[in-house]
């Protein structure tokens, strides 16, 4: 047999083998994409459900009030955060808010950790947390 003939046959086999490997890699990539998009729901389409407020099952939560967020109010201590809220039959009340790394903030789009306030002064919020005397350790804030 001629060396050129053998060389040509080997080159064609290598090319066919390479095309097969590339095709397999593309097929696997497409399969992985569909698993993530279709099965795991990792898509940002408008049909994705909006998160809804869920109660905290933590038994240490003893404060759950709706009010307005305020910071640096002249009548209150500067550089601190407060919730101004009302309870039936009582005048407006205020409580100091303490945020930590476990504090969660929920808005109509998402829920995420917020160790510092991520909303403007005067925002209408629901605060859930543990009240200790005149302050609340905030577990969750729902931004209305």
Fold of 63-143: OB fold (Dihydrolipoamide Acetyltransferase, E2P) (2.40.50)
Amino acid 47: pLDDT: 46
Tell me the pLDDT tens digit for each residue of 73-129.
677 677 789 999 998 888 899 899 999 999 999 988 889 998 888 888 899 999 999
Q: CA 19 to CA 3: how far, in whole Å?
A: 24
Name which of 130, 125, 129 is nearest 142 in CA terms.
125
Spatial CA neighbour of 119 closest among 138, 92, 135:
138
Sequence ranges of the domains in the chain: 1-48, 63-143
Q: Global pTM? A: 0.56
- Spatial separation of the C-alpha atoms in residues 123 and 128, rounded to whole Å: 15
Ramachandran category for residue 101: left, alpha or beta (phi over 0 → left; psi -120 to 50 → alpha): alpha
Q: How far apart (Å, rounded) are the C-alpha atoms in residues 49 and 34?
A: 20
The Cα–Cα gap between 97 and 70 comes to 10
């Amino acid at each position: 047999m001629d060396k050129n003939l053998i060389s040509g046959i080997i080159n064609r086999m290598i090319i066919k083998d390479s095309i097969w490997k590339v095709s397999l890699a593309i097929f696997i990539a497409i399969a992985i994409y569909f698993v993530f998009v279709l099965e795991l729901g990792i898509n940002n389409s408008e049909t994705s459900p909006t998160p809804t407020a869920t109660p905290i099952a933590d038994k240490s939560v003893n404060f759950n009030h709706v009010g307005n967020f305020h910071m640096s109010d002249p009548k209150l201590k500067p550089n601190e955060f407060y919730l101004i809220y009302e309870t039936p039959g009582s005048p407006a009340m205020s409580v100091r808010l303490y945020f930590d790394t476990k504090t969660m903030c929920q808005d109509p789009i998402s829920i995420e950790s917020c160790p510092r306030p991520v909303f403007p002064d005067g925002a209408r919020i629901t605060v859930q947390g543990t009240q200790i005397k005149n302050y609340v350790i905030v577990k969750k804030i729902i931004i209305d």
